[in-house]
Homo-oligomer: A and B are copies of this chain.
Amino acid sequence: MDATARTTPPTLTAHTVYLLSRTGKAARGALAARLAEQGLRLWHMAVLAALADFGPHAQRELADRLAIDPSDVVKVVDELAAPGYVERSRDPADRRRVRVALTPAGRTALTGLERETEAVRDAVLAPLDARERATLHALLSRVYAGLDGSSTP
């Protein structure tokens, strides 16, 4: 080990915002690495989850719900359609719209991604026991619910 230890400055770790930012980035990075092994990124999982929870969406609705740029939705859906995780079809009522629906293969894939997510949680939250994890989850849920458009760039 080095004499100049890799100690993070207390001035930083004293701020909850810093800890949130750091642990969040670590969690995000670890999850992204897992998904990358299957050629997917975080947005792919988000789209699959939205379709699983709320049924078929127009691409525009996906963009609204997930707060992604509509042009990026196109690419994500493209990449999900290639392995057959989602299907595109024209809305007969409004032929401008494209209905995106989850396939059985997509649902299976989502289940797998959730397992990966749990593995990441076990790695990142290793220092915490079950009760503490539940507490953390509850607190973060409320913080997340409090985020409105003003503070989510």
Contact = CB atoms under 8 A, between A and B. Distances in A.
Interface of A: 2, 4, 6-13, 15-31, 33, 42, 45-46, 49-50, 52-54, 61, 64-67, 110, 114, 117-118, 120-121, 123-128, 132-133, 135-137, 139-147, 151-153
Contact of A114 (B7, B15, B61): B15
Contacts of A110: 11
A65 B16 contact: no
A47 to B, nearest CB: 9
Given A24-B25, A25-B28, 10 more contacts: A4-B61, A15-B121, A17-B30, A18-B117, A20-B140, A23-B147, A24-B24, A26-B151, A124-B146, A127-B143
A126 B146 CA distance: 7
Q: Which 3 A-B pairs have the closest CB atoms?
A: A24-B24, A11-B49, A19-B140
Contacts of A145: 127
B23 A144 contact: yes
A147 B13 CA distance: 13
B50 A9 contact: yes
B9 A52 contact: yes
